[in-house]
Each structure stands twice: as structure tokens, then as C-alpha cells.
Copies of this chain bind each other. A is one copy, B any other.
Amino acid sequence: MTEEQFSPFFERIERPNPDKAVDFQRHGRLKHLIFGSQLNVPLLEKLCRSADTIRTMARTVDGHRSLRNLLAHKRAMLYFTQPSTRTFLSFMAACQILGITCNEVRDPKTSSEVKRESQTDSVRMFSSYFDVIIMRSQVEKFAEVCAYMMNDLEETEQRSVPIINAGAGSDEHPTQALLDMYTIYRTFRFPQSTAQESSRLSQLKREYPDLVSGPQQKTYLFCGDIARGRTVRSLATVLAQYPGVRMFFVAPDHDALRLDKKLESNLIASGVDIRQFGSLDETVDGQPILAQTDCVYMTRIQREHNSPETETELAALDLEPFRLTKSRVNQLKSFSAILHPFPRDRVVGEIPTEVDQDPRALYFRQARNGMWARAALLVHLFDASEDLIYAHSQSLQSSS
């Protein structure tokens, strides 16, 4: 994308995120989801409730049928010019659950680009045929530009559709933060509706007297590729909103991987207690860091963005201290969660497959949570949350 195509939007996109967040919502509801900090606590709670409702309804054939009718009058464009399998398929499945029909453009060199069409014309074309544009792009801020273009169209009473940022370069990946948060909410909810659940909670409270429900008052450990992991940036930013959050960052001693200064100062400004380590085996206050961790967020060392020089330097690193082996898992609290945005690297083995059977290994469930959380986001953007609640109550009645 040439700068020329961005120019009408320059002034607006250069402002700080909180100022822009206001432009991307209306009466407290999102118009577009562009960056992680749009996901404030009340919105997250609302989306997690919707995701739970969708998940519950999908358990029965009738509930599934109601879901499929909810947004069956909508058509989505998945515009993924940066390759992705997992996020793409997760959005496809989310759309399909709600009856939304899917369309895709994935080739970075579409025929229109060959014909010298501007990318903003392409996106406006998509908005002519489809009702939401879910986009992943190498171009930083492109989703934001599209969101502002849609806002301008809306103001002149022309057709306008919601934009979802499904990952932009090394910048932001807000829906990954959403599904991570959904998994964290579910992990730290500690329901007590059955005797068995209550008894488990009592036992946990004996073992960990300070344990509270929810994402707050917890220690999160991020391990691996901290600097380039846009999922780390988006999730840490969202978690910083909760009180009493402590974050451990464990990364090899290399500038391409360590926590960058900008994120560090943002987190500190939000009141997060930050510690940095060079191995999963370090201790703090005389206790292993793993034993103090409520949630481990493992990441893959991203090789695809390396310069040849960085490649050589990283190849020389010893990654063993950053692998969550079974013996390290054994140090974790009994209720803690092991997350990974996936894919994992089968050569490095930052999480060896032997860990997959551990009850704390939630990364496959986390992937499936992405489907429910993204469906909840679509329901929200199409202002169908009430329809969802109504459909759920109807399906409960018909089954009783």
C-alpha cells in the first residue's frame, strides 16, 4: 500500500489508541475491532458470557439450528493476504456456527492489484458484496485505515460494514487476546454449582489461601519470543486492566526476543508488577518462578521474520531453559493453565508432546475457545446479543 492511499487518514491514525477507540464504538458497542486495548473489562465479560451461551447451545442439534439462523442473512469476507491457517479456519468455523456464509481472498497478488486497483478500492468492493470484513495483512494500520474509510462512508449515509483486525504484521492480534482471555476466564472461574465443584474449590483454598476468582490477583508468565509476539503484546495489554496482576517475562538474552521498552513502560504505567528472567528455572523471593505462576503463556520463537544475521545469532542460543518440560510442569500450581497461541515448533519443542496429557495443558481447548469467542464477537458486532439470548431461552423451552 502506497502512502498516497493512506493520506486521507494520516492525521487520525497517528493519534493515541484511547482517542481512536472512541471512533470505533457507538453507545459502548464496538463498530470495528482493530486493537487489543478496545477490549475493556465490561466488554470482555459480555463477550465471554455470549461465548458460553453459544458453546452451550451448540451442544444440541436444536440449539445448533437456532444459532445457524441467527446471522444467516449475513455474508463475511475473509481477506487474508498474510498467510494463516489457524486464525482463518477459526473464523470460518465461527461464521458457520452462526449461519454466516464465508468468502475469501487470500492471494496477496489478487487480479485487481495486477490491474493497479488501490487496496482501499478493493476493500470498498468487498463492502459492496459482504456484511463484515475480517482482515489479516502485512501492512501495519491497514485495518485501521479501512475502519476509518467505513466510518466516512457511514457519515455520508453510504454502505458501511464492520472491520475485524485478524492480525496485522507484528503489530496487533486483538481476537487472539480475546480468546486467550476467554480461556483465562474459564480457568479462573471456579464454579460451585455442584457439590463436586464446591469441594474442589475448598481444597484449592486450603492449598492456596490467597486464591480469588477471575483474572485479577494472578501471576502470568510469558515465555519465548516476547518482543515479536503480537499475541503477547495484545494479551499483556488487556490483562494490565485487572488489579493485582504480576507478569514474569522469560526470554533468551537477545534484543529480538526480550520484552521491548515500549510495552514495558506501558505495563508499568498501568500498575503491573513486572519481572524479567533468563530461564524457566529461576527463582524469586527464594521460590521457583514456576511455583508462583497461575498461568503460563508459551510462545514459539518466530523464525519467519528473521534477518540472516539474526537467524545465525538465534541458532546459537541454547533454548533448553525455555522449554516447558514435564518436570517443569510439575512445579506449577495444581489449578494453573498452560496456554500457547500455536503452532508450536516441533523441532524446538517449547512444549514437548508428553505434556499434552497433563490436565493443565489447555492449548487445544484454547484453540477451540477461539471459535466460540470469535462467534461471540460477530454476534456483538452485528448487534445480535439480544437475539442470541432470546434464541437460547427458546431452545431451553423447547427442550424442557
Name A residues whose Cβ lies closer than 8 Å to a Cβ of B.
Answer: 5, 58, 61, 64-65, 68-69, 72-73, 75, 77, 83-86, 89-90, 92-93, 96, 101, 103, 105, 110-112, 114-118, 121-122, 124-126, 128-130, 156, 158-159, 300, 302-304, 342-348, 357, 364, 367-368, 371
- Complex CA–CA separation, A122 to B342 (angstroms): 10
A-B contacts, 11 of them at CB < 8 A, read A65-B69, A68-B72, A89-B126, A112-B343, A114-B304, A116-B303, A116-B345, A117-B345, A129-B368, A159-B364, A159-B368
Q: Is A93's CB under 8 angstroms from B75's CB?
A: yes
Q: Is B346's CB under 8 angstroms from A125's CB?
A: no
Which chain B residue shows the least CB distance to A109? B83
Which chain B residue shows the least CB distance to A120? B353
- Give 19 new A-B contacts, CB below 8 A, not counting A84-B111, A122-B343: A64-B72, A64-B73, A75-B96, A77-B89, A85-B105, A89-B103, A89-B125, A89-B126, A89-B130, A90-B129, A93-B130, A115-B302, A115-B345, A116-B303, A116-B346, A116-B348, A117-B344, A128-B368, A156-B357
For A156, list chain B residues within 8 Å (CB). 357
When all copies of this chain in the complex are counted, the total is 3
Closest A-B pairs by Cβ, 3 of them? A117-B343, A64-B73, A83-B111
- Complex CA–CA separation, A62 to B7 (angstroms): 41
Given A90-B129, A368-B159, A343 contacting B85 (CB threshold 8 A): no
- Complex CA–CA separation, A158 to B363 (angstroms): 13
For A367, list chain B residues within 8 Å (CB). 125, 128-129
Which chain B residue shows the least CB distance to A115? B343
Q: Is B368's CB under 8 angstroms from A115's CB?
A: no
Q: Is B342's CB under 8 angstroms from A125's CB?
A: yes
- Complex CA–CA separation, A101 to B118 (angstroms): 30
Least CB distance, A341 to chain B, in whole angstroms: 11
For A348, list chain B residues within 8 Å (CB). 116
Least CB distance, A10 to chain B, in whole angstroms: 15
- Complex CA–CA separation, A148 to B96 (angstroms): 28
For A128, list chain B residues within 8 Å (CB). 364, 367-368, 371
- Complex CA–CA separation, A111 to B136 (angstroms): 14
- Complex CA–CA separation, A159 to B367 (angstroms): 12
Given A83-B111, A128-B367, A304-B114, A73 contacting B96 (CB threshold 8 A): no
Interface centre among A77, A105, A158, A342 (most CB of B within 10 A): A342
Q: Is A103's CB under 8 angstroms from B110's CB?
A: no
